[in-house]
Structure 1
Amino acid sequence: MSRSNTATLRRLDYPIATIHGPDGGYRLGAGKTLPPLQFDHDQALAIAVALQTAPSTMFGLGDDAARALATLHRVMPPTLRAAMESLRLTRLQNYWEFPAPPIDPAALTTVGTAVRHRHVLVTEMLRPDGTRPEPGDPDFLPAHRIEPHHLVVWAARWYLVAYDLTDRRWRVHRVDRLHPRPTTQHFSARALPDDNLAHFVMSTHDRGDTPAAWPCTGTARLNLPAHVVAQWAPGGSVVEYLDTEHCRLTLGAWSWAGIAGILATFDTELSELHPPELVHACHRLVHRWGGIAHPLGPSPE
């Protein structure tokens, strides 16, 4: 290492130790402060995602993560700053933070960039396993042109609020279920479907959710509207609209009793439970709970 290079590194606050002797020279050491860092595009994407989603997985990090993101934003060169800005998102809290499938960083970058620049996307729907159905397959859907407006993270899943130019209506898409293709067609901002995007995403039942992989999966008809159940259902569950006052919920858990317990949290009438193992689990819980002694005597009707 030359003296000029050593001087440059020291000006940048990198600690350089001088080693004396026949085998001496210069050695990059550990310092007390963080020296300037360099990130490529993928690293900038990882940092933007990590700093914005960390507060949803660990308490007390919200302010620190926001300050760290702002600090990095100020020192980033324009190209990397654009990559980070493309992933500005809304993060929502959910009481059931079940694991979510991994998301393709390339797809996330494509969607985030289109949101930032207001460019129309051409999207195709993927199967839950991430494969693309071919024309003629039962689950094949033609490509749609959409106006991507906002990214939202909820229940560890990434959602896109977009206006569908094909269906002429607002939609909520699971980003991991999209195969997006960028265009250079610009669109103008529309009046959003709800002043509260969090409420819009949480209360939209047809947002592309699919049942997560669990040892047990069951369904039940609930005497509640779909938009209410969708707001409180676990991540990785599916809410099907039946009519204005009823919906069907499909969800998974580690046991049949686990599913029965989650259904009980909705505090409503249940019917059409499947499979039989779920029905048996509900009966067992009723028997078990019915035997719990009330500390103050019989409860009032």
Structure 2
Amino acid sequence: MSQTTQRVLTLLSLLQQRPVWTGPELAERLGVTTRCIRRDVERLRSLGYPVSATHGSGGGYQLGRGRELPPLLLDDEEAVAVAVSLRWAAGGTVAGASEAALRILAKLDQVMPPRLRSEVRAISDSTETLVGAAVEVDGEVLIRLARACRDQVRIRFAYAARGTEIAQRYAEPVRLVATGRRWYLLAWDLDREDWRTFRLDRMSEVEPTTWRFVAREHPDPAAYVQRSVSQAPYRWQARVRVHAPAETVRELVSPSTGEVSVIDDGSCRLEAGADDLEWLALHLTRLDLPLEVEEPVELREVMVRTGTRMRALAGGERPEPPA
């Protein structure tokens, strides 16, 4: 690599580190004249990097955003991080992202030095990923919703709620929330005049409108989605006091399964929903922690019956059939 090329790459790296650099600052860092800096800036512009220059107090050189994506400059740590992230993205939940990630990874692998390629391979070979029942979403839907949230424009879409027919919805989108298995949208439902969460895999025909809106005061998106997916959709909502620190219970309970809140240093409250109380009783038993069912009463009765059956089975007895 020539001295000029190395200097231009170093200049690009500096421009990426700070919003604005003055000519004398760059010249001092690179050990050249300000005239040389001007020539190197022109070289970057010819490569597609939009470097702007302003005069006067507070002025200087600034790396902006162009109409096309120019070549990226990555140091060793950044290159390894990008490659590892792309390998994981290849098994993601966004339709089309896996193929795109593999294409980019192939390009990066082609130009990556052998020492960095071996680091990426070592991380990949020593890592196992537990693949759950993730639901894939349309990448175009994800992009449209992200833009609508950013630009604060209302959206129209078709939605297939559980157990109902597809219906047209009109909403003000606020934030996208990913749980690991699914993507959700927090939005103000204009027809129902209330906050709602929408699963992206159940959305179709998503169309941003030209109607902009002023952002409303909204609940915390992550907390609201957690409550919605762990409690609201189910027939039964349970409140259980667990005699263990909240941090301990959060390690055992997925955010999409239940919401954990602190009571004191030694106890917390777990709120969860279920259509089947026997399933919920078994889930609570698996925590292997002392707890008290606050509500519903039906859950206490199910846990008593389940315990009786378990003791009978453990002793070789034939359990009584459920009433």
TM-score bracket for the superposition, by shorter chain length = 0.3 to 0.5
Normalising by the residue count of structure 2, what TM-score does the alignment of the two structures yield? Answer: 0.39
Greater share of helix residues, 1 or 2? 2
Normalising by the residue count of structure 1, what TM-score does the alignment of the two structures yield? Answer: 0.42
Q: For CA contacts below 8 A with separation 6 or more, give which structure has more relative contact order.
A: 1
